[in-house]
Amino acid sequence: MKQAFLKAPFLIEIRDVPVPEIKSDEALIRVKACGICGSDINTARTAQDFRPFGHEFSGIVEKVGAEVKNVAPGDHVTVESSSLCGTCDMCRNGHPELCLHRYIFAPVYNGFAQLVAAKAGALVKFEGISFEEAAIVEPMGVAMDMVNVADIQLNDSVVVYGAGPIALLAVRLARLKGAGKITVLAHSHSKARIDLAAFYGADEIICTDITDPVEALKGQRVDRVLVTTPPSTIKDAAAFASFGAIISVIGIAKSKPESLCELDINSMHFRRLQLRFSFAAPALFFPMCIDMIRKGLVDVKPLISHRFCLNDMQAAMLALRDDKARAVKVMMTEDN
């Protein structure tokens, strides 16, 4: 079978490799769609050796192990990037997001391939949506976690820092949560992302390469900030957040010193700011996200800006890196 491998600087190899052997608790999935994540771009910039990649994928079950009961050949499934154990104290006490024994699959998945062996416990069946839509369930779950961590209340004024796929999904979810005003901080070159921010419900777009967001938001009420950008931007978020605001962060850096951020803790203390971090591992909310897509509450199809087949993954990675005006979600389709 064919499988893509990635290393810096943005180099792709398509190799012929053996079909994976599945274990008793695994299933063999024929990949029908797989999206490129921002973390894949970081890998393309930093990985010293070729490695498999791709964790935002969906497909059809071809074969199951002897112990597998939850899926069968022919089922359409999307795949959690990590799963809870369901048996530890935190899971049993109603906090699966704090699972002590979560299994993170993303580093070992190879969704940019024709076939993938996946833990059956990570598979979530779906119907009524396309494979492409199902491949966006994983980043939508990440956005859902960040929005839930922010605890958005009715009529809150929300600022979303960034305009990538997770940020754009967060805009729509914040609107569904009842946000009163939504402002998106984007880059002016991201024409497609700016248009989608408005499509998903943003009331205002501030281009941070043209306008200082701290100055632009001075004097405005900002109850919640959703940060999907690198950690350095948390300083800005803390500066323009209003008294009692919650800042929910998902943005990470690929390495130090980019992961470091200087904050005025006295200012945050006396303004009662809350800094909360979202980390969607284990991955949660897949059934809810599937249901919301199926019902039309969240239209994820406009996020897909580019489609490529497996043999063209080199061009796909370069499109996401270089096509600043149009690139949003770049996806490998079933024509692989």
Q: pLDDT (tens digit, 9 = 90+) per residue, 131-143?
A: 999 999 999 999 9
Domain ranges of the chain: 2-136+300-332, 141-277
**pLDDT: which is higher, 303 or 103:** 303
**pLDDT: which is higher, 152 or 260:** 152
- Per-residue pLDDT, 107: 59
Helix, strand, coil shares, percent, the chain, to 5: 30, 25, 40
15-19, 88-92, 103-107, 281-285: the lowest-pLDDT one = 103-107
- Per-residue pLDDT, 258: 83
Residue 332's nearest CA partner among 33, 16, 31 is 33
Is residue 336 pLDDT above 70, yes or no? Answer: no
Distances from the Cα of 309 to the Cαs of 4, 132, 152, 164, 257, in angstroms? 11, 13, 39, 22, 36
- Quote the CA–CA distance of 94 and 186 in Å, as a whole number: 36
- Quote the CA–CA distance of 210 and 118 in Å, as a whole number: 45
CB neighbour list of residue 90: distance below 8 Å, 6 or more residues apart = 96, 98, 99, 100
The predicted model scores a pTM of: 0.95
Count of residues in the chain: 336
- Quote the CA–CA distance of 145 and 266 in Å, as a whole number: 28
Q: Options 3.90.180.10, 3.30.1330.10, 1.10.10.10, 3.40.720.10; which CATH number does 2-136+300-332 get?
A: 3.90.180.10
Tokens read off for 195:
């248009």
Helices (H) and strands (E) in the chain, counts: 11, 18
The architecture that CATH gives domain 141-277 is 3-Layer(aba) Sandwich (3.40)
Average pLDDT over residues 19-26: 94
